[in-house]
């Protein structure tokens, strides 16, 4: 028997489901978004909601789950975080329109109105206030990779080009939530394939011209073919997910690869710039320094840290503004207080332009632009204003007419939803005020009518009520219904209840119609005014976006100044010479963590120059080598981002590329062991570092055998010194590398200080000149809690190794004498070592005869010789 044909509703759903592709389909049914089949199973599991069924398909129950429309944003956020994409299918006509179109049983038409994806969010509830949400498109044109990136919540769009081997670093800088790429290309990890035809450079150029209504893009900058191709793919994808409705897209900006400090993925991960090694903001650099009072400022700070500048003049301008605010605490607090009160106008603008705006968004634009104008007046009166602020100030004003219009039109606190009206201010539209009065007088009119009906019928319990099904109706207790059922009573029976009866009346119907008509006209009038205001905002979108960007930049500068004042940070001196002179340098994240525990961070100096550009640093683990390496890299990054640095003094020669090879983990997804990852990162440094680069290397070669590791570390150090000739801090445990100082004239030896006191290791966290005398590995093991017997055994092995090396000059000499497979001999050696340690601790002169005898018996028991 053939399967029964699907119901009209299920046929409609299946057609939309096919159109949704790899997205979950939210199918609107009344006040719920329903999901069916596999979508329902997936969503129910992620959202932890009940999985039910509805009807059958091909003889089997259809799995179903649903979420309320009014609270759907929270569920959408959870699905997006879980890596899902969602298609929203809305009812595109009312039941009345469907009935008029095809009769009483006609199915309401539905269509996919939008695709919700990680990179295309604009809703306030779905976005993190302090984190940009970037969508990127990548493609390759004649050996050049083009990248287009946009944060559609604010409209900022960037285009850039790079070599194929630099694509990973560029995407790492962007931190995109979603990446699209042409089908058939060697796609980046987790990217979404899109039709290759969307990535034609000519089509991309045409799309950008159409979006911005220009005949040429020359006014925006010079864009390569690969940039335009990527932009074409990006805009085409936005048209797809928005079903033809584009979000806010500001004029594109070209980002040159030589304008920012280059960092690869490994370096960004190692330095924990925007997130810690656990993938969280807490414990990262930005978490330690962010003092911005607005979400827009925090997003701008993240962008600054992700792409520090290499232009000395631009860095100087940022530093000048930070210093200006740093030196005047009262001004700084005044600016921060003003900024703190402002809403996020950039994202409000994004929602309005995308067609998802609300009266509340218009109110935020009104308040934000008004606050910007007030800030302009405060700062504009100051003398000796920094150059950068002089350029920013004009963007804070110029919205007077729009602000005045929004102020007159909107109530002080507009609602989030516009369907119920109530957001247009009284006095703005006289006709609307009349309609509202008519609607507002409803309660009094209905109360008067209720009193009239009571008098006429003599039923004191008569009431006029309202619900969404019947509208207004008269209700009386069942025992009084007879009076209203009389033929000449003027009432018409509508509904019988258990203890009451409901009626209609001509006067009530007329009054209800008048109220409904006035209310409907009032809502229509408010909707018309809303569209007018939206049109005005859209017209001024570029100027409003410029205001939002200016406010964010001022917030970053004020926040940097606040952080510097709190931590005693200093303004760095940026020079062209290849130097790095840091006095009293600290690691901002570690220092903050220690301060929270009431402990003090030990500051250290660093001085690299052309004649002393490679420091070889030894010393024990946990002694602070890695911290010292990272803090200097972070100081360079902070300085070139245009902020003060955690140091007493800093003189920094511009760095073109920053490399960090500190720590490693395996990458099983790419089939790479820990040592392979280490070598890949090291290879990238040796291939790309220039004389203007800054490199930090930690424990190169530790992932393989001792001889191999030592040989690799030796060769890498020589290459950095002789070929790359860059500034470099090189931490190692290989003491043999100290011999390099004899042949490498720009290499110097340093170590982190440590001492052993009464068997305990004391880490001083201080840097000193000269080679380390030892690595203190066994002491660190003891400090870490390795069992005493294991440490003792390791010491005996170490003694034999060192003895063999002293006699024969070979590291492995003496291994043959080690009783590795003789358990009894091993136990004997361990016991002897333990007894020696015990005897060292005994003060013989302080023992009484009885105590000495007891000690002797105890030692015999431990030695296993007591019978």
Under the banding of pLDDT at 50, 70 and 90, the label for residue 814 is very low
Cβ within 8 Å of residue 141, ≥6 positions away: 201, 225, 226, 229
pLDDT above 70 covers a percentage of the chain that reads 90
pLDDT tops 50 at residue 82: yes
Cβ atoms within 10 Å, residue 426: 11
Please give the pLDDT value at position 818: 42
Binding site residue list for ATP = 619-626
Please give the pLDDT value at position 663: 67
- Each residue's pLDDT tens digit, 736-788: 889 999 999 999 999 888 776 655 656 667 888 988 766 666 666 676 677 87
Work out whether the CA dihedral 724, 725, 726, 728 comes out positive or negative: positive
Asked if 733 contacts 775 with a C-beta cutoff of 8 angstroms, the reply is yes
Please give the pLDDT value at position 671: 52
Please give the pLDDT value at position 668: 45
Stretch 499-526: mean pLDDT: 86
Asked if 529 contacts 409 with a C-beta cutoff of 8 angstroms, the reply is yes
Q: Which residue has the higher pLDDT, 799 or 295?
A: 295
Under the banding of pLDDT at 50, 70 and 90, the label for residue 152 is very high
Q: What angle do CA 12, 18, 24 make, to 5 degrees?
A: 95
pLDDT tops 70 at residue 135: yes
Residue 39: helix, strand or coil by DSSP? helix
* Range name among 96-105, 122-131, 556-565, 586-595 with the lowest pLDDT average: 96-105
- Each residue's pLDDT tens digit, 175-207: 999 999 999 887 766 789 999 999 999 999 999
Q: What is the DSSP letter of 410?
A: B
Q: Which residue has the higher pLDDT, 815 or 538?
A: 538
| Separation between Cα atoms, residue 719 and residue 739, nearest integer Å | 15
Exposure b/e, 751-787, CB count within 10 A at least 16 = b: bbbbeeeeeebebebbbeeebbeebbebbbbbbeeee
Please give the pLDDT value at position 262: 93
Burial of 154 (0-12, 13-18, 19+ CB in 10 A): buried
Asked if 490 contacts 452 with a C-beta cutoff of 8 angstroms, the reply is no
- Each residue's pLDDT tens digit, 15-35: 999 999 999 999 999 889 999
Instruction: Specify whether the backbone of 456 is left (phi greater than 0), alpha (psi in -120 to 50) or beta.
Output: alpha
| Separation between Cα atoms, residue 706 and residue 43, nearest integer Å | 52
Q: Which residue has the higher pLDDT, 467 or 821?
A: 467
Residue 61: helix, strand or coil by DSSP? strand
Under the banding of pLDDT at 50, 70 and 90, the label for residue 260 is very high
Please give the pLDDT value at position 123: 86
pLDDT tops 50 at residue 824: no
How far lies 79's CA from each of 51, 124, 132, 557, 635, in Å? 16, 16, 19, 36, 39
Under the banding of pLDDT at 50, 70 and 90, the label for residue 672 is low
Under the banding of pLDDT at 50, 70 and 90, the label for residue 816 is very low
Tell me the three-class secondary structure of 176-227, residue by residue.
CCEEEEECCCCCCCCCEEECHHHHCHHHHHHHHHHHHCCCCCCCCCCCCHHH
Burial of 166 (0-12, 13-18, 19+ CB in 10 A): middle
Q: Which domains does the chain possess?
A: 8-116 (3.40.1170.10), 129-257 (3.30.420.110), 290-399+556-564 (1.10.1420.10), 432-520 (1.10.1420.10), 568-782 (3.40.50.300), 787-863 (no CATH)
Binding site residue list = 619-626
pLDDT tops 50 at residue 337: yes
- Each residue's pLDDT tens digit, 598-609: 999 999 999 999
Which residue has tokens 């053939």?
2
Please state whether beta strands 604-608 and 491-496 pair in parallel, antiparallel, or not at all (unpaired). unpaired
Please give the pLDDT value at position 781: 66
Stretch 418-447: mean pLDDT: 85
Joined together, the tokens standing for residue 542 give 């570029």
| Separation between Cα atoms, residue 817 and residue 813, nearest integer Å | 9
Please give the pLDDT value at position 58: 84
Q: Which residue has the higher pLDDT, 302 or 756?
A: 302
pLDDT tops 50 at residue 250: yes
Stretch 99-117: mean pLDDT: 88
The alpha carbon of residue 789 and the mean position of all alpha carbons in its chain are separated, in whole angstroms, by: 48
| Separation between Cα atoms, residue 187 and residue 194, nearest integer Å | 11
Work out whether the CA dihedral 823, 829, 830, 832 comes out positive or negative: positive
* Range name among 306-315, 577-586, 656-665 with the lowest pLDDT average: 656-665
Q: What is the DSSP letter of 747?
A: E
Residue 344: helix, strand or coil by DSSP? coil
Q: What is the pTM of this model?
A: 0.85
Asked if 121 contacts 92 with a C-beta cutoff of 8 angstroms, the reply is no
| Separation between Cα atoms, residue 443 and residue 515, nearest integer Å | 10
Q: Which residue has the higher pLDDT, 850 or 610?
A: 610
Strand order in the sheet with 580-585: 573-575, 649-653, 580-585, 604-608
pLDDT tops 80 at residue 657: yes
Please give the pLDDT value at position 185: 84
pLDDT tops 60 at residue 866: no
Please give the pLDDT value at position 189: 65
Joined together, the tokens standing for residue 770 give 């000269």
pLDDT tops 60 at residue 811: no
pLDDT tops 90 at residue 580: yes
Stretch 646-675: mean pLDDT: 79
Strand order in the sheet with 110-116: 52-57, 60-68, 32-36, 24-29, 86-91, 110-116
| Separation between Cα atoms, residue 188 and residue 343, nearest integer Å | 36
- Each residue's pLDDT tens digit, 696-737: 999 887 766 677 888 888 999 999 999 999 999 999 888 888
pLDDT above 90 covers a percentage of the chain that reads 63
Stretch 32-60: mean pLDDT: 93
Strand order in the sheet with 747-757: 658-661, 694-698, 727-731, 614-618, 747-757, 760-769
pLDDT tops 70 at residue 815: no
The alpha carbon of residue 25 and the mean position of all alpha carbons in its chain are separated, in whole angstroms, by: 26
Please give the pLDDT value at position 675: 77
Give the chain's radius of gyration (CA, Å): 37
Stretch 313-317: mean pLDDT: 98
**Mean pLDDT, all residues of the chain:** 88
Stretch 506-527: mean pLDDT: 84
Joined together, the tokens standing for residue 215 give 């005949």
Q: Which residue has the higher pLDDT, 571 or 510?
A: 571
């Amino acid at each position: 028997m053939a399967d029964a044909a699907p119901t009209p509703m299920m046929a409609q759903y299946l057609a939309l489901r096919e159109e949704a592709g790899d997205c979950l389909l939210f199918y609107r049914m009344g006040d719920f978004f329903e999901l069916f089949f596999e979508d329902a199973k997936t969503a129910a599991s992620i959202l932890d909601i009940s999985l039910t069924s509805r009807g059958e398909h091909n003889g089997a129950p259809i799995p179903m789950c649903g979420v309320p429309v009014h609270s759907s944003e929270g569920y959408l956020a959870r699905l997006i975080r879980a890596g899902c994409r969602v298609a929203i299918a809305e009812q595109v006509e009312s039941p009345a329109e469907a009935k008029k179109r095809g009769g009483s049983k006609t199915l309401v038409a539905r269509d996919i109105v939008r695709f919700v994806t990680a990179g295309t969010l604009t809703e306030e509830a779905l976005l993190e206030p302090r984190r940009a949400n970037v969508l990127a498109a990548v493609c390759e044109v004649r050996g050049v990779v083009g990248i287009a990136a946009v944060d559609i919540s604010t409209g900022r769009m960037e285009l850039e080009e790079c070599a194929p081997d630099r694509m990973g670093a560029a995407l790492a800088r962007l931190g995109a939530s979603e990446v699209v790429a042409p089908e058939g290309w060697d796609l980046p990890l987790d990217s979404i394939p899109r039709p290759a035809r969307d990535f034609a450079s000519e089509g991309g150029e045409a799309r950008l011209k159409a979006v911005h209504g220009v005949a040429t893009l020359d006014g925006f900058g010079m864009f390569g073919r690969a940039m335009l191709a990527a932009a074409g793919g990006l805009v085409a994808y936005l048209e797809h997910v928005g079903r033809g409705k584009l979000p806010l897209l500001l004029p594109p900006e070209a980002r040159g690869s030589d304008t920012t400090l280059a960092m690869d993925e490994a370096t960004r991960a190692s330095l924990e710039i925007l997130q810690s090694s656990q993938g969280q903001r807490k414990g990262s650099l930005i978490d330690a320094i962010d003092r911005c009072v607005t979400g827009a400022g925090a997003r701008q700070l993240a962008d600054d840290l992700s792409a520090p500048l290499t232009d000395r003049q631009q860095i100087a301008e940022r530093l000048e503004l930070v210093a200006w605010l740093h030196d005047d605490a009262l001004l700084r607090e005044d600016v921060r207080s003003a900024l703190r009160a402002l809403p996020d106008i950039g994202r409000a603008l994004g929602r309005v332009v995308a067609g998802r705006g609300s009266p509340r968004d218009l109110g935020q634009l009104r308040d934000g632009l008004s606050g910007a104008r007030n800030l302009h007046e405060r700062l504009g009166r100051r003398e000796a204003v920094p150059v950068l602020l002089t350029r920013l100030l004009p963007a804070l004003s110029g919205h007077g007419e729009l602000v005045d219009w929004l102020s007159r039109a909107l109530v002080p606190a507009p609602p989030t939803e516009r369907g119920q009206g109530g957001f247009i201010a009284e006095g703005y539209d006289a006709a609307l005020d009349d309609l509202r009065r008519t609607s507002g007088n409803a309660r009094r009119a209905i109360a008067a009518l209720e009193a009239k009906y009571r008098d006429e019928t003599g039923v004191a319990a008569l009431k006029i009520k309202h619900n969404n099904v019947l509208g207004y109706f008269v209700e009386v207790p069942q025992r009084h219904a007879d009076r209203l059922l009389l033929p000449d009573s003027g009432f018409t029976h509508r509904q019988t209840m258990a203890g009451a009866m409901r009626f209609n009346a001509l006067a009530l119907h007329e009054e209800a119609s008048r109220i409904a008509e006035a209310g409907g006209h009032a809502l229509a009038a408010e909707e018309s005014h809303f569209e007018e205001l939206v049109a005005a905002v859209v017209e001024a979108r570029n100027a409003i976006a410029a205001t939002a960007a200016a406010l964010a930049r001022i917030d970053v500068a004020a926040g940097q100044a606040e952080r510097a004042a709190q931590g005693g940070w200093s303004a760095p001196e940026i020079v062209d010479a290849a130097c790095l002179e840091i006095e009293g340098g600290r690691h901002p994240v570690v220092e903050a963590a220690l301060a929270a525990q009431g402990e003090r961070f030990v500051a250290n100096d660093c001085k690299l120059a052309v004649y002393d550009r490679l420091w070889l640093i030894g010393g024990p683990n946990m002694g602070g080598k890695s911290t010292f390496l990272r803090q200097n890299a972070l100081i360079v990054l902070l300085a070139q981002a245009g902020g003060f640095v955690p140091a007493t003094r800093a003189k920094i020669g511009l760095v073109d590329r920053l490399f960090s090879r500190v720590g490693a983990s395996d990458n099983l997804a790419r089939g790479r062991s820990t040592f392979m990852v280490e070598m890949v990162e090291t290879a990238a440094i040796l291939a790309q570092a220039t004389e203007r680069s800054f490199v930090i290397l930690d424990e190169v070669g530790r992932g393989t055998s001792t001889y191999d590791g030592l040989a690799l570390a030796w060769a890498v150090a020589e290459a950095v010194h002789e070929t790359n000739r860059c500034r470099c801090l090189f931490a190692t445990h290989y003491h043999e590398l100290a011999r390099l100082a004899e042949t490498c004239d720009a290499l110097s030896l340093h170590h982190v200080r440590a001492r052993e006191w009464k068997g305990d290791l004391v880490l001083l966290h201080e840097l000193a000149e000269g080679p380390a005398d030892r690595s203190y590995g066994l002491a660190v093991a003891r400090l870490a809690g390795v069992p005493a017997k294991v440490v003792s055994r390791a010491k005996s092995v170490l003694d034999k190794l060192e003895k063999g090396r002293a006699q024969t000059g070979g590291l492995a000499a003496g291994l043959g004498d080690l009783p590795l497979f003789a358990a009894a001999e091993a136990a004997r050696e361990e016991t002897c070592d333990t007894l020696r340690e015990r005897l060292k601790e005994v003060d013989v002169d302080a023992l009484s005869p009885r105590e000495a005898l007891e000690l002797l018996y105890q030692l015999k028991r431990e030695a296993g010789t007591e019978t």
